[in-house]
Amino acid sequence: MSAQTEFRTCPKTGLKVHLAAEKLIKANAVVAIVFLAIGGLFGLLVALTRWPAVHLLPDNLFYLALTAHGADVLLFWILFFEMALLYFCSAILLNCRLAMPKLGWVGFWLMIVGALLANIAVLQGNSSVMFTSYVPMQAAPHFYLGLILFAVGALIGCVLFFATLVIAKEEKTYEGSIPLVTFAALTAAIIAIFTIVSGAIILVPTFFWSLGIIQHIDPLVYKLIWWGMGHSSQQINVSAQVGVWYAIAALVLGAKPLSEKVSRMAFLMYILFLQLACAHHLLVEPGLSSEWKIFNTSYAMYLAVLGSMIHGMTVPGAIEAAQRRRGFTNGVFEWLRKAPWGNPAFSGMFISLVLFGFLGGISGVMMGTEQLNIIVHNTLYVPGHFHGTVVAGTTLAFMAITYPVLELIFQKELMFPKLAKWQPYVFGLGVAGISLFMMGAGTLGVARRHWDITFADATLSFEYPPMALAMLGLNGLSAVLAAAGGIMFIMVAVGTVFFGKSLKETSEVQATPEGVAAATSYGSETHLQLPGTIVLISVFFIAFVLYYFINWKYLATVWPMS
């Protein structure tokens, strides 16, 4: 047997683990966490600079740090981790060998070279163009080249994912349909293809433009296609993160989807409609019609939002059903009160779910409304929103799944279990603060990506309301808290990977995760009432509707314009 087809059997889950796939998962996950650490540090520096009382960095370093922060966390941390997830959801969950692991390493190294090249360009100081790099502002050629190489590497990862699905089907390593979590990963990979192609269409010419070979790139066309990449990549994150929610609910509680059909349809909505979302970034641009804006920004009548709202019910619903089957049937919320809140995988997942819905989701729909965008475009509200989605949602979900992955894939016992237990709470609280206070400052009009909102060196003078400055102070405090949560995560993860006690030697087979045995078959016959979930989604819905109309009221107070 060649080294490429060696397997071990996981003592915890009984899954056959392809060793070559396992190595790739480990490498991608570890590099992801390194970029999280670097990008997180830049983020902290940015927040401390925007805290008026601290105002840490000088202007040029602030814009540099902001550019690096965006690239390192939004792109490199998340995509390296998603590569690990893709390999996990295909090879491991399907009991299958990973297709072409050698090519997987080619992709991995391309991504590393690309990420380093982009970081070098930024650190050299002449590529502080922000993550979005809107033309005609120009970065050094190797900034664009780095991003292109990185994208090619990620594309290879997606191809391997598809190839592994084909192999698993051919070799009949699973029966019936692929698991829901793998389906989520499939959704993510399909959207990733669209995303990477969009990125190539715009970044390749931009690279040639930076070399002087192409003379002109239209700024509006750039923005349209760039966001075909930029926003769609957030939908990769949503799909991956919702998949992680389902996976953790299954691993920790043995939860089953309420209805495979509904959950899969919701993922399908993402594939069908999410690409339209580049319009979210073009709502106050010249040159595009209102008809175009309304159709695209709403994903054709909010059909992708519908997908997320469905998951927003079916994920807690699956948890409630699993808990009730295990006997936590008293009252409306016993299932939630007696959930394993001390398990960081569960607490992280649930905090991610709640914060993503309330902070990221509602605010995203609000500012994606054509006219409402007028009162928030390019204010701090925008980063407030996406710290609710990408940090509180995606990043926290990825941190949460790391804990079981450390045990299952790295086969190590968690180091610092106490630290791990508190980590999701500290990080979640910090990120919730970051998101809320930035949205607060943005509602008061404060510009994003701005070094000095006191305008000390400007010819004219202007002062934002004092409340806005207070919000930025609170944002800084929250960032410190989130950074502490991030450091806790990195200590646990790195500590476990390098110094954790190996679980391989323990002869005693670990008990199956709590609840796996207790889970019964889903479907109508054992389907329970879910009063707790209904209360939760009702609260969410009322908050959503109220907040949405409050903002129309706010819009109605600004100067009439047409």
CB 495 to other proteins: min, Å:
26
Nearer to other proteins by Cβ, of 31 and 453: the residue is: 453
Nearer to other proteins by Cβ, of 460 and 509: the residue is: 460
DSSP characters for 38-54?
Answer: HHHHHHHHHHHHHSTTT
Nearer to other proteins by Cβ, of 169 and 504: the residue is: 169
Q: How far is CA 321 from CA 249, 261, 352, 438, in A?
A: 11, 17, 20, 36
Prior bond of 513 cis (ω within 30°): no
Nearer to other proteins by Cβ, of 212 and 560: the residue is: 560
CB 128 to other proteins: min, Å:
8
- For position 425 contacting other proteins by CB under 8 A, the verdict is no
Nearer to other proteins by Cβ, of 108 and 335: the residue is: 335
- What is the number of residues in the chain? 562
Kind plus residue range of the DSSP H or E element containing 550: helix 531-555
Cβ distance 490 to 77 under 8 Å?
no
CB 154 to other proteins: min, Å:
24
Question: Which of 50, 97, 231, 449 forms a contact with other proteins (CB under 8 A)?
Answer: 449
Site for other proteins in 203-232 (CB under 8 A): 218-220
Tokens 């949602």 found at: 393
Q: Name the phi and psi angles at 9, rounded to 5.
A: -105, 130
User: Which of these segments, 99-107, 111-119, 394-402, 536-544, binds other proteins (CB under 8 A)?
Assistant: 536-544
Cβ distance 379 to 448 under 8 Å?
yes
CB 379 to other proteins: min, Å:
6
Site for other proteins in 258-277 (CB under 8 A): 258-262
How far from the centroid of its chain's Cα atoms is residue 451's Cα?
A: 26
Tokens 């800084």 found at: 476
CB 127 to other proteins: min, Å:
12
522: which DSSP letter?
-
Count of alpha carbons within 13 angstroms of residue 342, beta-carbon side = 3
Tokens 């970081």 found at: 119
User: Which of these segments, 175-183, 328-336, 426-434, 480-488, binds other proteins (CB under 8 A)?
Assistant: 175-183
Question: Which of 228, 257, 361, 424 forms a contact with other proteins (CB under 8 A)?
Answer: 257
Q: How far is CA 85 from CA 27, 131, 182, 323, in A?
A: 12, 24, 9, 26
CB 101 to other proteins: min, Å:
22
- For position 165 contacting other proteins by CB under 8 A, the verdict is no
Site for other proteins in 284-323 (CB under 8 A): 284-290, 294, 298, 301-303, 305-306, 309-310, 313-314, 317-318
Site for other proteins in 30-89 (CB under 8 A): 59-60, 63
User: Which of these segments, 107-115, 148-156, 244-252, 480-488, binds other proteins (CB under 8 A)?
Assistant: 244-252
- For position 125 contacting other proteins by CB under 8 A, the verdict is no
Question: Which of 1, 3, 53, 458 forms a contact with other proteins (CB under 8 A)?
Answer: 458
- For position 365 contacting other proteins by CB under 8 A, the verdict is yes
C-alpha to C-alpha distance for 22 and 410, rounded to whole angstroms = 8
Nearer to other proteins by Cβ, of 337 and 527: the residue is: 527
CB 451 to other proteins: min, Å:
4
C-alpha to C-alpha distance for 198 and 191, rounded to whole angstroms = 11
Hey, what are 139's tokens? Answer: 């970065």
131: closest CA among 381, 320, 383? 383
Site for other proteins in 495-534 (CB under 8 A): 516, 519, 521-524, 527, 529-530, 533-534
Helix segments in 254-389, DSSP class H: 260-273, 290-297, 299-325, 334-337, 344-355, 362-367, 381-386
With CB under 8 A as the rule, give the number of residues binding other proteins: 108
